[in-house]
Structure 1
Amino acid sequence: MTDAQIVDVFLKAERIQKAGTIDETVTSFSACIQAFGYRACLITRLPGPNTGHWQTHILANRWPNEWFERYSSAGHYRHDPCVARCRQTVDPFLWRDIDVVALNGPAEVVMGEAAEFGLRQGICIPLHAPLLPPITVTAAGDVVDTSPIAQQSMHVLARSALSAIMRIVGRPALEPESGLSRRETEILQWTATGKTAWEISMILSISQHTVLTHLKNTKQKLAAANVVHAVVEGLRRHEIEL
């Protein structure tokens, strides 16, 4: 990811974080993800599959009205393969990653009908916040950018949106105090300039294994899913600068 791309994600995350209401948050988030082809999104807690009123767990809804009504009236929630996978993983995944061959009849109907409503491609980003049940951010569109950079950016923006919503409703935020050490900050700073772990090891006269260990610790402290996310979080918290 180039410096320009990192700055772009950082500015979008900042814009989302500055929202004052949930509606402003999801409006900002929706506007940001349109650049990747996503035109609909839903942020919701994940109650059990047999929950009668799962809609009461929704935090923000920007699904097309017609699709939301169809999804709800047909009882698709309890058969949604994306929901099932979100309960089993903390890793983001694309809808296309779901094994279509393994889908049962009702699950296949859910995905097929979503496509009929213009939601052919999507991404799910399972998130976890302290003292809360699992939450997922789902975004979809007709044709979306599924490149690694787009996926990393979506994860950063999704976490920013949920963090803003948690702040607004007065629940625990996603981000702990980072407490980065001097060496961790130094390595993250070099990473932000595009240096590889090997290049950083040569610059700092330390082993590549040590660099990777520091980056692993940095990601944990910043609650980052990947190195790009760690760089964006480091910039947002003024731990580093470009």
Structure 2
Amino acid sequence: MNAQGKQNKFALSIVQRLHACKTQLDILRLLREITADFGYQHFFVVNGPTTAAPCFSEAIVITSAPSEMVQTHEARTSAASNPLASILQKIGAPFEFRLDGSNVDTPADFRLFAEGVFSNDDLDCAFIVPVYHPDHGPAAVFFLGKRLPIGMEDTAILSLYAHLLHQKLRQVSAKPAKPGSPLTERERECLVWTSVGKTSVEIAKILNLSEHTVNHYLNNAARKFDAVNRTQAVAHGLRLGYID
């Protein structure tokens, strides 16, 4: 099979697997794979700034990046800073940022974000795809890494994946918990993220909650399952089908 045939087969596989995604965890796994396949290290799905969530950490919907990356940015900027603000206001097309300064039109707030986090993680570029949802407004899916400039074909393919994944993420996030589950939706979400190794601090960033609130939900879930800790609560939730 030639290179074009392999690429078409990969694209078909991604679309088929996307349709099969049922949870945020499924989306996380698929996004991680796509991120690596395109030569990037981390991805973010981030809402545009709002009055309720003006800063970057509060706007994050889902990410594979370590919490320290976001903390590094917010330690350098004002509390209400969201590096995607200018991009979502002014740029409607996919946008590549490179730390070498080859793209002079990069908004200042995103450049500040990049300069702050890239040096600590040996990164040199970002690819940002503005997306939109009628219930949530402007958002973006973006990828951070260290790779050669992205070509036109990869730009088109990765942009399509970003739009489809964002739409699917919103769909699965809106689904109610399994009937009969003793867990609230927040308790279920916290257990799901715990099951993939996220700490309370990281879960708090993902779900726009305080660390104290995340611990409260996890303790409630453990109590409902008569579990001695969150690890045992995850095991009970998986066995009973309340988390997946």
TM value normalised by structure 2: 0.59
Q: Among 128, 132, 135, which residue is 1:131 paired with?
A: 135
Aligned to 1:74: 76
Match of 1:240 in 2: none
1:114 counterpart = 2:117: yes
**Residue 122 of structure 1 contacts residue 144 of structure 1 at CA under 8 Å; is this kept in 2?**
no
| Residues 42 and 108 (structure 1), Cα distance of their counterparts in 2 relative to 1, 3 Å cut | closer
Q: Which residue of 2 aligns with 1:58?
A: 60
Q: What SS does the corresponding residue of 1:78 show, helix, strand or coil?
A: coil
Give the drift of 1:46.
Answer: 0.4
Q: Which of 11, 29, 38 is matched with 1:27 structurally?
A: 29
AA of the residue aligned to 1:129: H
CA displacement at 1:144 relative to structure 2: 4.7
- Note the 1:96-111 alignment, pairs <5 A: 96=98, 99-100=103-104, 108-111=111-114
Alpha-carbon contact 1:125-1:138 (below 8 Å) kept: yes
Q: Distance in 1 between matches of 2:85 and 2:122?
A: 19
Using the alignment, how far apart are the partners of 2:151 and 2:51 within structure 1?
31
Contact 1:17 1:161 in 2 (8 A): no
The farther-off stretch of 31-40 and 162-171 is 162-171
Which amino acid in the other structure matches residue 112 of structure 1?
E
Deviations 1:139-169 (A, max 9, x none): 0111156111211111121122112211112
What CA RMSD, in Å, does the superposition of the two structures yield over aligned residues?
Answer: 3.0
Find the counterpart in structure 2 of residue 39 from structure 1: 41
Does structure 2 conserve the Cα–Cα contact (< 8 Å) formed by 1:36 and 1:144? no
Q: Displacement, 1:29?
A: 1.2
> AA paired with 1:21?
T
State the alpha-carbon separation in 2 of the partners of residues 145 and 35 from structure 1: 15
Secondary structure (helix, strand or coil) at the match of 2:31 reads helix
The match for 1:18 is 20
Query: Corresponding residue for 2:155?
Result: 151
Q: Percent identity?
A: 12
Higher relative contact order (CA 8 A, sep 6+): 1
Partner of 1:163: 167
Q: Give me the whole-angstrom Cα distance separating, in 2, the residues matched to 1:49 and 1:89.
A: 21
Unaligned runs of 5+ in 2: 176-244
Offset, 1:85: 1.6
Displacement of 1:111 = 2.3
Report the secondary structure of 2:133's partner residue: coil
- 1:52/1:131 CA distance change after superposition, 3 Å: closer
SS at match of 1:40: strand
1:138 aligns to what SS in structure 2?
Answer: strand
Give yes or no for contact 1:40–1:140 (8 Å, CA) kept in 2.
Answer: yes
